Structure 1
Amino acid sequence: MCGRYTLFTDKEYQDIRKIIRAVQEKGHEVKTGEIYPTNPAPILVWEGKETVPQAVKWGWPKFQGSGVLINARAETAEEKNLFRKSVYTRRCVVPTTGFYEWDQEKVKYRFILPHASTLYLAGLYNEFQGERRFLILTTEANTSVSFIHSRMPVIIFREMIDTWLEDTEKAVHMLHWQQPELHIATQ
């Protein structure tokens, strides 16, 4: 599960700074720092013939009771009525500077992609009462994460962003790719 992630804007996070600037130029604000469910955050979507950033709230409203759905299992998203159409037509990428997981003693760890300042996560979006919302796709954790948690986000490499957003056949295949090894941030 991915229940929090980071969106740092320090000088070394040029990709994130560029995405946030593009969203702000459209007149929208997004939260930075530690991102919680229901916070507005930038996502990347396919519009026309290009990838564009948008400010969108994290979490799909639950239809039974309060709260939000923040994750969907990549292994079964294609089969579930709630996610199927989004898998085929409303994919997004969630730019981050890492995500958090907690161990059984409630110690928080931030996972990052080695040698990259930005970690891109696979997501889906949908419209709810005229408001766009997103969630993050997760998969079984590989050995770099599994000692902390059994799930991890589906990682999209920077060079595969347009493919994930635009090419449905390849995107469905990417849901089942082996995930890259991650590191725990020392800061």
Structure 2
Amino acid sequence: MSYQKPRILHDYKDLFFSLIPLVLIAVVFAGLASQCSFSATGPTEGKIPHFDVQAALNSDARTLPFPIRNPAVPADWTPNSGSRDTITGPDGGPVSTVGYITPSGTYMQLTQSSASDEVLARSILGSRFANGTQQIGNQKWTVFAEPTEETAWIADFGQSRVLIKGAGDTSAFTTLAQAVTAAPQLSR
């Protein structure tokens, strides 16, 4: 006959020893599935995914009902993402977004839409409010800057609104704003 302790006498040591086999099994399965890796040097910078911004914006220009611009950003800016969405409700509309990684490693987002500037701002920036402006060439940009949030600039281009936001500094915003302002509308 084997002896078992009454449950009332179980303590944390018993719990610890009963969990060891489970943890070992989990580590073995994770290792077999190649889901774990160990590095003595810490995390490494990943490769930026390739995104064909030219093809994406040309497609958006053909299918979306508002003018799309493809800004000529500096050659060392790497396009890494893109998406389409729709802002529903009054003054909403389709949205085209592409993203870039700057040479300093910061992300900058370019969003174009036929939604009103107020609806576009609320959809992407939430309850933030404008607190300044920037004049880039002949284009006025409304600035949304808060200490704990990513900065954003919005401009009205007539048939479309452009929102740029990201973790970049003023120079990155100015570069992207100048490129958008100078970019012609893509043909349909």
TM range (shorter): under 0.3
Query: Which has the greater radius of gyration?
Result: 2
When you count strand as a share of all residues, which structure comes out higher? Answer: 1
Q: TM-score, normalised by structure 2?
A: 0.25
Higher relative contact order (Cα pairs below 8 Å, separated by 6+ residues): 1
